[in-house]
Structure 1
Amino acid sequence: MPLELTALPYDRTALEPHLSGDTVDQHHGRHQRALIERINALNAGGEFEEAALETIVRKAQGELFDCAAQAWNNAFYWRSLRPAATAAGVPSGALADAIQSQFGDTDTLRQRFDAAALRHFGAGWVWLVQRPDGRLGIAVTANAATPLTGEDTPLLAASLWEHAAYLDYRDDRRRYLDAFWQLVNWDSVAARLRR
């Protein structure tokens, strides 16, 4: 059964003014859709034809892995964000405790996350992850790489691909990251935390 493009968890303009509907259309409606279509073309009659996207990411190689990992990363990214009109919110409970234990506070987490993103050259992703021992960490992956294939549990992701920031911020990654933090869905991040 062919994969389908994962629907956004909100309207295409719900992230405005931080991310425009045009950016969402390009990122989700064009790039992510093209990845799903390519996966289906590569996988027609193949061993993963009936597999879930996450299974393909964990087991495929080559171009099929690249497309599947990118599609999964993008779907994860959209679930890391919340509509701009909802209250900003801050981490609470076990997530707040884990952030305090590892980083001291949310501002320090943000500074380290942003620094990692700004150091990264080219396309990729910056992640807040939970290590197998329960500690939190920051990871940067290039291109299609994803923590899903390793031992870390991804909690939060920011896209470092050009189409995430070009239309709204003309590739000014720092301004894009400022906008990203206005949209983080801390409830979604907390739900991914292993206890």
Structure 2
Amino acid sequence: MKNKSIALTFAVIFALISCGKDKELIEVTIPEPEKTEKVAMGNPADVKADDPEGAFQMKGLSYAYNSLEPFIDAKTMETHYSKHHLGYCNKLNSAIKGTDLESKSIEEILNKLDMNQTDIRNNAGGYYNHNFFFEILTSNGGEATDEVLEAINTDFGSYDEFKYKFTDSATKLFGSGWVWLIKDKSGKLAITTTTNQDNPLMPKAESKGVPILALDVWEHAYYLKYQNKRKDYIEAFFNVINWKKVNEKFKAATATD
């Protein structure tokens, strides 16, 4: 717009000069360039369940929406948390309202889930999975350390081998779903995948176990930034893993053996 206005101004001046110096020049105002306002990100703490008395509530995040940039962008984080995750929370509360499930923990619901109750299955899974995923992210990511690294080296041979296998599973998972690092019934670490909002706590899970690490590979988790480049998103994920929190989960799982 600005360039067109400048060109128009010069054209008018040139035409008037060409017609004679005795012609009066007309002043043309060049409009200011349009300003694009930057949309401010919200505060995760402001995101609340529709029912304040519902059995399950939003837990908040330990970081701001933009804290994980450039690996996960602020807009994706805000949409993911305040729209998708909130939706699962609200629908779960509605699905279990007035039932004995209101007094159960999310883990108890998942462990004894009737897999034919798709409304509860999808929304309880979505609520648990997203809480887990958001909890193991941080702006100060790095490589695994402490007890969980020792277990990774023992069960996969090395951290690099674990990373390769985890990335391969996430890349090859067809459609929407999750990739998990779990502690299985034998006490070893294993990588497994689930479709939609299923997870390794549910009955009939292909590989049951206690989740230690999780990656959301639904398109809504990465499409705004990475579009169809899922592998780039997976690679970026390794820069924002909260290994301290993962190690805590590993030790908690070990303590219950």
Residue 58 of structure 1 corresponds to 111
Q: Which amino acid aligns with 1:77?
A: F
User: TM-score, normalization: structure 1?
Assistant: 0.92
Q: Higher mean Cα deviation, 100-109 or 158-167? A: 100-109
Q: Equivalent residue for 2:237?
A: 180
Distance 1:57 1:13 in 2: 31
1:74-153 to 2 correspondence within 5 Å? 74-83=130-139, 86=140, 88-149=141-202, 151-153=208-210
Separation in 1 of the partners of 2:165 and 2:233?
15
Instruction: With a CA cutoff of 8 Å and minimum separation of 6, indicate the structure with the bigger relative contact order.
Output: 1
Residue type of the alignment partner of 1:65:
R
Percent identity, aligned pairs only, is 30
Give the secondary-structure state (helix, strand or coil) at the position aligned to 1:48: helix
List runs of 5+ in structure 2 lacking aligned partners. Answer: 1-52
In 2, Cα distance between equivalents of 1:28 and 1:138: 25
SS at match of 1:155: strand
Find the aligned partners of 1:96 and 1:53 in 2 and give their Cα distance.
28
- Is 2:121–2:198's contact at 8 Å kept on the other side of the alignment? no
Q: Which runs of 4+ in 1 moved over 4 A?
A: none
Question: Structure 2 length as normaliser, TM-score?
Answer: 0.71
Which deviates more, 150-159 or 119-128?
Answer: 150-159
The Cα RMSD (Å) is 1.5
Alpha-carbon distance in structure 2 between the residues aligned to 1:105 and 1:126: 19
SS class of match (2:178): strand
Report the Cα offset of residue 179 of structure 1. 1.0
Residue 71 in 1 paired to residue 127 in 2? yes
> 1:132-175: per-residue Cα shift (whole Å, max 9, x none)?
22211100011121112264111000001110110110031101
Other structure's SS at 2:124 match: helix
Q: In the alignment, does 2:223 pair up with 1:170?
A: no
Aligned length in residues = 192
